[in-house]
Homo-oligomer: A and B are copies of this chain.
Amino acid sequence: MAKAEHHRGTALTDEELRALDAHWRAANYLAAGQIYLLSNPLLTEPLRPEHIKPRLLGHWGTSPGLNLVYTHLNRVIKTRGLDALCVWGPGHGGPSVLANSWLEGSYSETYPDITRDAQGMAGLFRQFSFPGGVPSHVAPEVPGSIHEGGELGYSLTHAYGAALDNPDLVVACVIGDGEAETGPLAASWHSNKFLDPVHDGAVLPILHLNGYKIANPTVLARLPEPELDALLRGYGHVPLHVTGDDPAQVHRAMAEALDTALDRIALLQRTAREGEMKGRAPWPMIVLRTPKGWTGPAEVDGKPVEGTWRAHQVPLPGVRENPEHLRQLEAWLRSYRPEELFDAEGRPRPEVLACVPAGAKRLGATPHANGGLLVRDLPIPSLDTCAVPVDKPGATLHEPTRVLGDLLEQIMRDTAVRRDFRLVGPDETASNRLQAVFDASGKAWQAETLPVDEHLDRHGRVMEILSEHLCQGWLEGYLLTGRHGLFSCYEAFVHIVDSMVNQHIKWLKTSRELPWRAPVASLNYLLTSHVWRQDHNGFSHQDPGFVDHVLNKSPEVVRVYLPPDANTLLSVADHALRSRDYVNVIVAGKQPCFDWLSMDQARVHCARGAGIWEWASSENGGEPDVVLACAGDVPTQEVLAAAQLLRRHLPSLAVRVVNVVDMTRLLPREEHPHGMTDFEYDGLFTTDKPVIFAYHGYPWLVHRLAYRRTGHEHLHVRGYKESGTTTTPFDMVVRNDLDRYRLVMDVIDRVPGLAVRAADVRQRMVDARTRHHAWIREHGTDMPEVADWSWGA
């Protein structure tokens, strides 16, 4: 075991130290003030109960540590002229980042009401966690932030996402020791195997061990130091340890550690960029070990608080009622000597601001944290360059995702110099048939390469790791700093990131309400290897519910597309890649699928989002007897096969075929910007005819979207109902009653009069299903009448 490297600090002059400490004390004062004070912000009079907020909300425990990091990042940004961004993992420490932003002036520039003086300070304090004010976390409202630290675990993957293709950027990332226990964070350390020292910036992890979570010690803080050191070296880092509770000593050690780390980063990047890098070099990181709630009350009501979990939120809870608590609070606040830090008008004194960089170098003002300022439109080629020719519907087959791969390859190629487009996925780019992109970019990989490997590339922009969390986090960080991307994922396992996409949608929703946040590129999902084609993997790989999950979220942000073939997939992807501030979910198959629409038809159909397919319908200008609706590639095929069966067996029946690409079209216009008016909806689906709707996912979703429509009582939806195993494609639809024969039976059961008139046809459908069961049991494949079916036949 290498001896741990400890920093005791020597580099700072006494004057620098004084200034850093002044800034840190000011930030600590402002953080505590936000949690407690309604008025009397400068303590110009003795503290009285009425100066205290009636509800004490916020997190003190992590704030002094975050303040220390912010202060010291200020120093190195200024002395080195760095372009830096910081991701605050313990983002519940909102008071800290707000305090620092106010000190450096970026807060007042963003929110002119909150001036950098006594009045502004009063506003800063009052608004915090106050109704109508600002949230208690490092939310989108906070200048300089790309990361809500509320749901812990994603800071480091966000930091890596921000650093990718930003060669001049240093992304510091404070990782809380609670957060470090989460799975996503534990996996994120290995991101360094994907960071290209030539084209990417640097990530500097700062593991902040303050020892406790809400109620427990943290695992990492209680590892013996050699064990922790081994772990971090195993993650590919050289840890620099900064430990202490004496401010002066910690300031010196932190300054030295930061200088050492940044020197190493610079050397490492220079070596790599000069082509001298042999293999993968270990990146530096800092382990900062300081007390939780440092400089706050040491004891409250006879119990230790500073340095324990009791400092996590509000260390003195009874200030308005308990005179002793009030006294302690005043002593605590005055311990920072605010009169030395702020002048009579409440403005930070020059010494306090000595370490603060200027202009866009400030952490709260960097455009990288407001990526919409930097984002450029993607160069998307004409779709005609990769569209498949379709002379008549259903005559040819293509794998839709493979066709999309051609489009992505062109985009990848056309961004080779700009480097602002990435494709991420959990080891499935080729499995998902997108491998054409490898002609334009390899897969990012900095670890060992063997001769047998394919497409690995130290400078690649396709990113594959068997962690949906990292794919999602990398892409979020990349998008929020002004770039573009696509996440291709197995449909079932995208649920792994349910909670992450929640946070991202919430981030976008709030950002859209902030005029100063410029729109960023949308987060685009391609969900493939979907529920209907898990031939290899079966039941565990079947879940189409991500659509349901995102449709619970803010309608301003979420979009859901189910293109039925290759050209519609191209059209939808083109739209998604051009869009801003959305989460676009595209579900499309990778297996051969009939081509239904030409590129021109696909464009029109996708622009409408839903429409009648006249060529598949048998209405003759009048009202249909029944509507067969479909959404998704497999349901579309089954609906068309059913329409064909009906045409053959019940030629006088007027059948309308409706295909839905954009699921949110089904919602009322008042509920979603894409929602149809009732006039539009009724025009497609009628108000009184049976609608048999074959849907890709859980059938009740369609009811949830359409329950307000006049014709809702006539709507009958088929979809996936958790019935599946390793079986044939057609058996999957039969098991879930989504097959063509069942759909014909549904029509017969629901169109008035048909039950009797078409009893023989119905029996034929029952017989076909029986035939299917016997056939697959004997042959293990789908029977020829299904396997060889095509629309033209």
Contacts and interface: CB of A to CB of B under 8 A. Distances in A.
A60 B437 CA distance: 28
A46 B552 CA distance: 59
A554 B539 CA distance: 12
Nearest to A446: B222
Given A54-B780, A131-B727, A178-B427, A703 B707 contact: yes
Interface in A497-515: 498-499, 502-503, 506, 509-510
A214 interface: yes
Interface string A459-487: 00000111101100000000000000000
A136 B726 contact: yes
A186 interface: yes
Contact of A443 (B137, B178, B216, B499): B216
A89 to B, nearest CB: 12
A554 B499 CA distance: 22
A6 interface: no
Given A136-B726, A231-B230, A545-B549, A150 B427 contact: no
A495 B493 contact: no
A364 interface: no
B506 A540 contact: yes
Interface in A139-157: 139, 148, 150-153
Contacts of A135: 538-540, 725-726
Given A129-B726, A701-B704, 15 more contacts: A55-B728, A131-B776, A131-B777, A181-B187, A214-B428, A214-B430, A215-B428, A218-B466, A230-B231, A499-B543, A506-B540, A509-B722, A548-B552, A700-B704, A700-B707
B430 A215 contact: yes
Nearest to A555: B722
12 contacts: A131-B780, A135-B538, A135-B725, A152-B466, A181-B467, A185-B187, A213-B466, A232-B234, A493-B499, A498-B499, A700-B707, A701-B704
Nearest to A130: B780
Interface in A39-76: 53-55, 57-59
Contacts of A186: 183, 186-187, 189-190
A55 to B, nearest CB: 6
A545 B493 CA distance: 18
Contacts of A179: 466
A769 to B, nearest CB: 14
A132 interface: yes
A232 B230 CA distance: 8
A568 interface: no
Contact of A223 (B54, B137, B447, B503): B447
Kindly report how many copies of this chain are found in the complex they form together.
Answer: 2
A217 B181 contact: no
A419 interface: no
Interface of A: 1-2, 38, 53-55, 57-59, 92, 129-137, 139, 148, 150-153, 178-179, 181-190, 193, 213-219, 222-224, 227-236, 304, 307-308, 313, 427-431, 443, 445, 447-450, 452-453, 456, 464-467, 469-470, 492-493, 495-496, 498-499, 502-503, 506, 509-510, 535-541, 543, 545, 548-549, 552-554, 698, 700-701, 703-704, 707, 712, 722, 725-728, 731, 776-777, 779-781
Contact of A506 (B131, B218, B234, B539): B539
A540 B150 contact: yes
Contacts of A554: 722
Contacts of A313: 536
Given A57-B726, A465-B181, A495-B502, A215 B427 contact: yes
Nearest to A469: B183
A4 to B, nearest CB: 12
Contacts of A456: 216-217
Nearest to A229: B234
A186 B554 CA distance: 32
A430 B214 CA distance: 9
A559 to B, nearest CB: 16
Given A181-B467, A427-B213, A549-B549, A139 B539 contact: yes
A456 to B, nearest CB: 7
A216 B493 CA distance: 19
A227 B236 contact: yes
Contacts of A725: 135
B92 A537 contact: yes
A535 B216 contact: no
B466 A503 contact: no
A648 B561 CA distance: 50
A53 B428 contact: no
Contacts of A502: 492, 495, 543, 545
Nearest to A307: B452
Nearest to A133: B726
B139 A540 contact: yes
Contact of A234 (B234, B304, B450, B537): B234
Given A190-B219, A467-B183, A552 B545 contact: yes
Contacts of A447: 217, 219, 222-223
Contact of A540 (B151, B183, B217): B151
B510 A499 contact: no
A182 B183 contact: yes
A283 to B, nearest CB: 13
Given A186-B186, A540-B137, A465 B230 contact: no
Nearest to A192: B219
A537 B450 contact: no
Contact of A704 (B428, B453, B464, B703): B703
B539 A510 contact: yes
